[in-house]
Amino acid sequence: MTAQPQWVQEAWEQTKNKVKRVHTRIGDQFPHASVNGTYKLEPAAWWTAGFWPGLLWLVYRDTRDEELRASAESCERQLDVLLTDAAKVDHDIGFMWTLTSGARYRILGDEDSKRRALLAANLLSARFNAQGNFIRAWNGQGLEGWAIIDCLMNLPLLYWASSVTGDPRYLHIATRHADTVLQHFYREDGSVSHIVAFDPVTGEKLEVKGGQGYAPDSAWSRGTAWAIYGMSLSYQYTGNPAYLNAAKRSAHFFMANLPEDHVPYWDFRSPEGDSAVRDSSAGACAACGLLLLADQVGELEARMYRESGEKILHSLYSRYGAWESETEEGLILHGTSHFPEQQNVDVSLIYGDYYFAEGIALLMGYEERFW
């Protein structure tokens, strides 16, 4: 591996040390948001269940620490009960199994993990609405026609399933969903809607909803980050330039709206303006997407995306990191989960920590992604 800048090496060391330290309490449980310094735990069915084991795998890949591996494997086994009960899972299946079974299969080549990830891909495929060409987001009566921008990050499980089985059906579903996002979620300026409601019978577009953003026409920063990374991953798997173009448009919108410290507000169009709270998790996820985009374009553009991704990660490390604190379990502070419902505002979030670690690992030269 080529030598990395000093701050990247330090950030990776701090990340590994902190994950190891926090692991002594969290073990094989499922943390979500760190409130007052302590990660609150969630059941295995919660959408974030993949991120802690994913973080353990990122560190294990470098350190081969067997205790981390055992906990990541235990987390994966705890998800098994969900694979036989479709009512307990939703479209977040992709987040959950990509970072558990998918990561373990990539690192260890384990056949049980491959089987689990394929079962998960089947469950995700079953959520496809063939009339509207979208993957249904959540369960519950009245939500049959809802699709959300986050789901772009669930598509890699389907692309992966087609590549390991040689069966293109998963790919067809993923690309139809991605095309629907292009057609119905994307705006002229590269920002995106969070939720689009379709008629589940006719497939007709009914309504755009604000969801976790400030308003239907605002620009939720994490949604924009899901779009940057999700569209560039769709391009990675398909080679369809429409996805690359979409990823670039969202990237330019995101970069142009960043405040001076390169870490986004929770919504780029919230009325609080410059006094709005940040969402560090959006910054971390977008940085991973920008680093992927940099690998997909010509030299000049590549430098711009890479520098932007690095600036975000450097700011997260140097201004948002909780490295010295013995009492804070999160890696990076100032994430915002759901501002409109005032849930977990200005806290550490496990997905912010995961994407921060993924981004730093990428800068360290660990180029294989779990997605």
Residues of this chain that bind ligand GLY (CB under 6 A):
150, 212, 222, 337
Provide, rounded to whole angstroms, the least separation between the CB of residue 282 and ligand GLY.
9
CA distance 321 to 32: 17
User: For ligand GLY, which is the closer residue by CB, 76 or 150?
Assistant: 150
User: For ligand GLY, which is the closer residue by CB, 150 or 353?
Assistant: 150
Q: Is 110 a catalytic residue?
A: no
* Beta pairing class for 38-41 and 128-129: unpaired
Q: CA torsion sign, 337 to 191 to 195 to 95?
A: negative
Residue 190: helix, strand or coil by DSSP?
Answer: coil
User: For ligand GLY, which is the closer residue by CB, 51 or 320?
Assistant: 51
For 128, residues 6+ apart whose C-beta sits below 8 A from its C-beta are 134, 135, 136, 173, 176, 177
Q: Which helix (H) or strand (E) holds 61?
A: helix 51-63
User: For ligand GLY, which is the closer residue by CB, 118 or 152?
Assistant: 152
Provide, rounded to whole angstroms, the least separation between the CB of residue 46 and ligand GLY.
11
Given the residues 150, 267, 279, 353, the one annotated as active site: 150
Given the residues 28, 90, 92, 267, the one annotated as active site: 92
Provide, rounded to whole angstroms, the least separation between the CB of residue 5 and ligand GLY.
30
Closest to 149 measured CA to CA, from 110, 111, 187, 117:
187
Closest to 102 measured CA to CA, from 54, 49, 151:
54
Provide, rounded to whole angstroms, the least separation between the CB of residue 95 and ligand GLY.
8
Q: Is 353 a catalytic residue?
A: no
Q: Give the angle subtended at the CA of 137 by the CAs of 133 and 139, to the nearest 5°.
A: 120
So which residues are the catalytic ones?
92, 150
